[in-house]
Structure 1
């Protein structure tokens, strides 16, 4: 017995020691929590019960130059159902009514919704999707339906809201209007166009509010005021004109469809300001439809072809090494440099023609000879003209991803004997359509090169925050003498040159056609394709707009891929529609000028009306309206038959006037 008692005592001691050690451990842990790690746990508790919530700032809108809305933020709503939240009797009472109501707004029958709601209830689904991408009106309507109108805890409705960016004019100019967002795959910020370039103005600054967690997962504001108030974004006023944009978009789209082209772009710029009034960039999808893909006008740098010959003509005239009247022999349409042929598109060439005529006909042989003969001993002199025009560097647009030009420089490792002659007809160089347009616009703008602008001002309601004035890149691209000759030749391109199909005696245009072989040296004949272009301005005599059209890879099976036939008609359609369909802004002049016939009629009426008349006057031959006014002023009642002038009167002239008598006038 004593042995058993002894064993029991040992066990008691062991339990006591274990409890004692546990007590010590608890005390140590409590001490550690309270004093050693106290700050950490207090901070953790606060984080889990008190935290800052973001108050999103309202993003600014983007408007067109004429006040149309191009981009705005609207709320999208998602409705879900916590099937466990309602009590059984409440759910059974309203489930049929809710299903009937959902049928009126959504696209499925009542029976479907009742079945799905009951299944969610049975599966204890606390996050069943009812509908997503709802408008505010649809959200308010669904929120008022039976069961859901009881709220989140009694009715189980869960509402989630997100703000989405919408373009009210649809896909038109979508790449220029752009976007600003985070790529979910990489977490990196991505963006394009005005949305990205001017995000610092549009986005505003989010606010913060401190909330404390209370029962049932709800959060309650700790203070009546925000920690940080949100600041709404500013509105951006773009230079885009919706009317011109619509014309340009559909003109390009029609031509791309007709020629089954791969992609293309068109830009319309206001000559004096550099404001971009329209820009369209369309690429072909797999199903053959076209949509806004890449901003080709800004991002795509490629060999321009014959539109680059404007640089040749300006350099030659400016250096006075030849004149527009200097004659060149096209040598049957083919000349060779270092064993490589330069050919004219017209088989057999153009014979002996002047430099101006060679430009108008877009003769490669003429323009190459003019450049090579005058600059072969000093190619830097020619290349410096290109550099001075700014074609060797980007325009410095606000947009992300502007294409980089390439102008070979003498002494570079890629410079060879054929570089200079090939540059003369738009090869071995690379520029963006926007750069080419800036050059042609400078000619239209009396030699002043301005930077293309997509935004005119930043506004907060009616208050202007910042204005973007016209920015001059080059105040004088050439001398007035050179400019005058260049303008005349560009006008002749349309009148009697390669652009003669575009000519209209009622509307003047000036510009240059271009047809370039793309990938001719890199991908073999299968990879080579044509790019057709036209750059110019209108009206030719007093330019208001400049425009460039580029169409890549037109279907050669249609036997036509030249700039005049593919790109030129787009240019003409835009130019004519702008000035024939646009609301008239002409002012009526000489409003105060007098018309003799009207004055004589008025004087006759005034003389009769001012007489102190006691007798019925002779009204024959007087306009009906004048006769009525005269007789009513005499106190007579007048009845009229017909229209025009008085032919007969029921009371003859000379009869004494009786007040309130009725006289009948018969008009011719």
Structure 2
């Protein structure tokens, strides 16, 4: 082949190859465009767009007056993108930044921080953790002013990642009942304990979606589905009462060097749990909430069970309170090969049935054995008829199982009947015992313990939980009246004489029980001291139980000295507050002055002038339209200034409805009202900033 022919052949070959390649490219382009186009377009979007979940704000758990018991507070984790900082800026300001970080966190020296910053810079770290400690928003604002960081994220590299931290502002008050959050499988946090767990679905809210697109190297949000914040839970807990109950219990635990204790305060008419304290001795020597003994610790209640025993005997007509019974002269009662001995060491002899109960004599076991030994199922059925074998059905998880032994049980023996009558071989939690005594105070009507009154969303009512009656009356009216007198007698003439007061009447029952310890049973001397009752006995407002376990034997273990004084301290302080709320007058209280509400000054002056009541403090309130009122030792009325501004939520507690509505609506709030009388609580905290149109609920009594 000639040179020319070879050249033409080679050029032709190249041309054919180029044509084939061009054809293949065109074919592939058409294939990608037409047949695989949707697939690659989706991948392109996936690279340029990310879908983020936006966490909602968890709802608050609030006390009955709206004060927060648990709330989510934003905290920030600080990281640093060293790659975006200009070299000249870094060299000039790194020393100053290191000094600021060292002074702020106080955990490392300036030199250590400088070394860390230089290392991150050299390694071009884009997500470097500056410190493990999370900072508050106010702290973050200060950090933003540090050298380098003040240039902003794109030039200073400061990365702020917000996380919500669940806090309980009133530290250690009702901690186990409020509950806490646990980490879930997806590394989020969820409530599993207490109210946090019981109302998890209402509190957690609904997450939103944030779709962000990569533009010029930065993720920019282009579409947002807003999250729906969680609802707020309005509980029945009163912070002031909770503080009273918890500190009274703690002082007594420390005094008697006890292992643990619980105390519960309940409103008789509604079953509202106003305070609930559970304290356990720690290795450090102090006491903290570790387990909700009030709800979960089902144990042998001891002599507080005798109220149920007395109902059974009264209902069956076996005894009357004034009947005289002969308990013998030794105070020792034999049942087969076992004996029960009265703890006071006195010889009871012939005494009334009422006094048997008042002094907590174990002679009551003798009476039960005499009346029911041939028909024990009748006695057991009486106990079950009081619903003592049923759970309360509260929303909180972990309620202990009550246990009432039956004659057909494998563990039933010849001593089961008398032992059950004094609170052994049965199990109840402190809350279950209190619910029973609360029914006695509430004219025989059992109430389900209520922990939550309302669910609200941004102030608007979502759901309301009304007081709930459980079953019918626990016994006949005649039996109830007899038992109420007997319970008052315990305080006036019996084992709880040490807490008697002439200011108001208390009804209740002491209980001192041996605690069984595993296989050793009752060989080890450990005791549970209990007192449960209600006050004021002639018009019951509150019921209360105090249970203290394993007090030091050398310091005392009888309920009369261990648990009863705690009840009295709680009752004194709560009754004082109730006296102010309900306007009750007891003993020699002065009735010469009317009960005054807080409100408009001119209205008060007109009324007091008409009633010829002397008024003090007029000069102090000269510039004030709104005043507080108080009495000066019952002789005259004192006016004190009350500051009202429309930029803050007014404090309308103690006012009448007319004045309260005037102030709240003038402040731009939407008002809901329940009850009658004077304002006792308001759902928005006084002094907080007013948000126009926000809802506030006021409760009058």
The normalised TM-score by structure 2 is 0.76
Report the equivalent of 1:203. Answer: 204
Report the equivalent of 2:114. Answer: 114
Matched, 1:146 2:147: yes
Report the equivalent of 1:50. Answer: 49
Shift of the 35–398 alpha-carbon distance from structure 1 to 2, 3 Å rule, reads farther
CA distance in 2, matches of 1:563, 1:42: 78
Matched, 1:346 2:344: yes
Shift of the 49–260 alpha-carbon distance from structure 1 to 2, 3 Å rule, reads farther
Q: Which runs of 5+ in 1 are unaligned?
A: 1-19, 600-668
CA distance in 2, matches of 1:574, 1:435: 20
Paired residue secondary structure (1:416): coil
Deviates more, 1:384-393 or 1:268-277: 384-393
Matched, 1:321 2:318: yes
Give the CA deviation at 1:140. Answer: 1.6
Paired residue secondary structure (2:391): coil
CA distance in 1, matches of 2:43, 2:397: 42
What do the CA deviations read for 1:247-287 (whole angstroms, capped 9, x no partner)? 00100010111111111110000010111111111111111
Report the equivalent of 2:442. Answer: 445
Deviates more, 1:393-402 or 1:85-94: 85-94
Give the CA deviation at 1:110. Answer: 4.0
Query: 238, 242, 250: which is aligned to 1:253?
Result: 250
What do the CA deviations read for 1:515-542 (whole angstroms, capped 9, x no partner)? 1111157335565521111000011111
Report the equivalent of 1:129. Answer: 129
Matched, 1:589 2:591: no
Q: Does structure 1 retain, via aligned residues, the 8 Å contact 2:509–2:533?
A: yes
Give the CA deviation at 1:180. Answer: 3.7
Q: Does structure 2 retain, via aligned residues, the 8 Å contact 1:262–1:554?
A: yes
Q: Does structure 2 retain, via aligned residues, the 8 Å contact 1:520–1:528?
A: no
Q: Does structure 2 retain, via aligned residues, the 8 Å contact 1:105–1:138?
A: no
Report the equivalent of 2:646. Answer: none
Q: Does structure 2 retain, via aligned residues, the 8 Å contact 1:183–1:190?
A: no
Report the equivalent of 1:281. Answer: 278
CA distance in 2, matches of 1:522, 1:32: 81
Q: Which runs of 5+ in 2 are unaligned?
A: 1-19, 584-592, 597-606, 615-701
Q: Does structure 1 retain, via aligned residues, the 8 Å contact 2:190–2:197?
A: no
- Mapping 1:232-271, distance limit 5 Å: 232-271=229-268
Shift of the 157–578 alpha-carbon distance from structure 1 to 2, 3 Å rule, reads same
Paired residue secondary structure (1:556): coil
Paired residue secondary structure (2:409): coil
Report the equivalent of 1:3. Answer: none
CA distance in 1, matches of 2:311, 2:386: 10
Give the CA deviation at 1:74. Answer: 0.8
CA distance in 1, matches of 2:221, 2:111: 42
- Mapping 1:306-455, distance limit 5 Å: 306-331=303-328, 332-364=330-362, 366-455=363-452
Shift of the 595–152 alpha-carbon distance from structure 1 to 2, 3 Å rule, reads closer
Q: Does structure 2 retain, via aligned residues, the 8 Å contact 1:205–1:231?
A: yes
CA distance in 1, matches of 2:595, 2:168: 44
Shift of the 255–184 alpha-carbon distance from structure 1 to 2, 3 Å rule, reads farther
Aligned residues: 575
Report the equivalent of 1:160. Answer: 161
Matched, 1:561 2:557: yes
Give the CA deviation at 1:113. Answer: 3.0
Rg larger in structure: 1
Shift of the 397–597 alpha-carbon distance from structure 1 to 2, 3 Å rule, reads closer
Matched, 1:175 2:176: yes
Matched, 1:476 2:473: yes
- Mapping 1:627-666, distance limit 5 Å: none
- Mapping 1:572-587, distance limit 5 Å: 572-580=568-576, 584-585=580-581
